[in-house]
Amino acid sequence: MIIGTISVLTLMSVLFIVTDKTCIVINDKMDPIIKKPDLVHHIETPMSELTPNDIIFYDDSGKTMIHKVVRMIDYSPMVIEVKNEVSSNIHQATEEQYVGKFDNMVGNFGEHANKMFQP
């Protein structure tokens, strides 16, 4: 029974990892909401449906950034102001940069991954 449970959890984790909508957090800038090395997943949600305090993923010169929405600016194209939890600096993300909205996470995944993938 234990082996079966572990097998199912491992399979679910692998499926969660291999999707292109999942990444491992590499810093603590969203702490305490999201911590290094949490495994986070996003869903495709129209930018127009976002509200303040939603957590979003956006592309910043090839890096996937995770920030909290501060406010929506109704330009054409739409722009949102975002920030992380450790700084008061406000950044802007455009519709072109927007990737998706935070959906869920697996906490402390990195600690488990390190143990699984070490020789």
pLDDT beyond 60 at 116: no
Q: Measured between alpha carbons, how far is 44 from 100 in angstroms, rounded to an integer? A: 5
- Residue type at 3? I
What are the φ and ψ backbone dihedral angles of 117, each rounded to 5 degrees? -100, 0
Q: List the CATH number of the domain containing 19.
A: 2.10.109
Number of domains making up the chain: 1
Confidence of residue 115 (pLDDT cuts 50, 70, 90): very low
Contacts for 111 with CB less than 8 Å, ≥ 6 apart: 37
pLDDT for the residue 70: 97
Q: Measured between alpha carbons, how far is 9 from 6 in angstroms, rounded to an integer? A: 5
- The CA–CA distances, whole Å, from 117 to 16, 55, 110 equal 16, 29, 10
The three-class DSSP label of residue 93 is strand
pTM of this prediction exceeds 0.85: no
Domain range for 46 is 2-117
Contact 102, 42 (CB under 8 A): yes
The three-class DSSP label of residue 70 is strand
Closest CA to 43 of 88, 87, 105: 105
pLDDT tens for 38-84 read 888 899 999 999 999 999 999 999 999 999 999 999 878 899 999 99
The three-class DSSP label of residue 106 is strand
